[in-house]
Amino acid sequence: MNKRKLGNSDLWVTELGLGCMSIGTEEKTAREIIETALDEGINYFDTADLYDFGENEKIVGAALKEVREKVIIATKVGNRWKSDRTGWSWDPSKSYIKEAVKQSLKRLNTDYIDLYQLHGGTIEDSIDETIEAFEELKSEGFIRYYGISSIRPNVIREYVKKSQLVSVMMQYSILDRRPEEEVLPILHEHGISVVTRGPLAKGLLSDKMLEKVSQKGYQDYSRKELLDVLPALKDKLAADRSFTEIALQYNLAHPAVATVIAGASSPEQVRSNARSVRSQPLTEEEVTIIKETSKAATYKEHR
């Protein structure tokens, strides 16, 4: 599988990464999914301390222990579970980040984290303090690089201006093109890679597309609009290839994108996504058709 350089780091990530949130807590099944990803050549595994109260990190760490030096583990910090586990609070403080990383390292059963990401962020945060925490962890050898997971343009701009982050994880797909106008250009200009999530838009951008359309619609699309635009896109683009291929290749067509993170709840889903990423890249004409048929959009909230 092709690899791309992650920002200004020395990490080379496969064009498809495994989003581990959906692998579940049944260890045998979860391990099969991860091992299938390894068999398909995937080297990037994304988790978070929030997932399954930390159990996800444990499963990921155990499954990757024997190949630790060959893979890239990305995890996240900032959401703090309440003691009764009924919810979580936001805590981007230096003291919490520096304590939380120790717990993640223990659960992952590793001495270092390749990419440590802030799991959110607001403009009201003490951003300088958060950056200081990440820089100290980097100098102390606990993490190799850091990034943020955010859809807030104002927060992203602050980190671009003040920090040495190498990546930003964000939702991006044919049905959610909000990053294109405001965020992707500035990140590409500064050599910061984008790690995309939600590329299949909750299954709407798969061959089961019409089965996934809900009454609520999706993002800026109403139900009626989805029932119009999805068949139109398929008719124009997916005659000889799966719609999953079109969706994943659309993300990879943008020069700011380093890797697409797709979740999987079965080994076959991993194999299908891997086939899609190995398929023929979109032509300029196909990208143009997608942009003309779908909606361009901007961020209206979370600025």
- Rounded to the nearest 5°, which phi and psi values hold at 7? 55, -140
- C-alpha 218/C-alpha 205 separation (Å) is 11
Written as one string, the DSSP assignment of 230-292 is HHHHHHHH-SSS-HHHHHHHHHHTSTTEEEEEEE-SSHHHHHHHHHHHHSPPPPHHHHHHHHH
CA 75 to mean position of chain CA atoms: 11
Buried b (16+ CB within 10 A) or exposed e, 237-248: bbeeebbbbbbb
Taking the CB of residue 45, how many other CB atoms lie within 10 A of it? 25
Q: What is the pLDDT of residues 183-211, one digit of tens each?
A: 999 999 999 999 999 999 999 998 888 88
Pairing of strands 113-119, 16-19: unpaired
Whole-number pLDDT of residue 228: 95
Tokens of 204: 């709407």
Whole-number pLDDT of residue 298: 80
Judge contact between 20 and 50, C-beta under 8 A: no
Q: Is 101 left (phi over 0), alpha (psi -120 to 50) or beta?
A: alpha
Place of tokens 């044919």: 174
- C-alpha 91/C-alpha 227 separation (Å) is 41
Whole-number pLDDT of residue 238: 74
The set of catalytic residues is: 51
Q: Cα torsion for 200, 24, 120, 15, to the nearest 10°?
A: -50
Whole-number pLDDT of residue 178: 95
Q: In a structure prediction context, what are the per-residue pLDDT tens digits for the chain, which is 303 residues long?
A: 999 999 999 999 999 999 999 998 889 999 999 999 999 999 999 999 988 888 999 999 999 999 999 999 999 998 887 777 777 788 999 999 999 999 999 999 999 999 999 999 999 999 999 999 999 999 999 999 999 999 999 999 999 999 999 999 999 999 999 999 989 999 999 999 999 999 999 999 988 888 889 999 999 999 999 999 999 998 999 777 889 999 999 999 999 999 999 999 999 999 999 999 999 999 999 999 999 999 988 887 655
Buried b (16+ CB within 10 A) or exposed e, 115-131: bbbbbbbeeebebeebb
What's the predicted TM-score (pTM) here? 0.94
Tokens of 234: 């398929």
Whole-number pLDDT of residue 302: 54
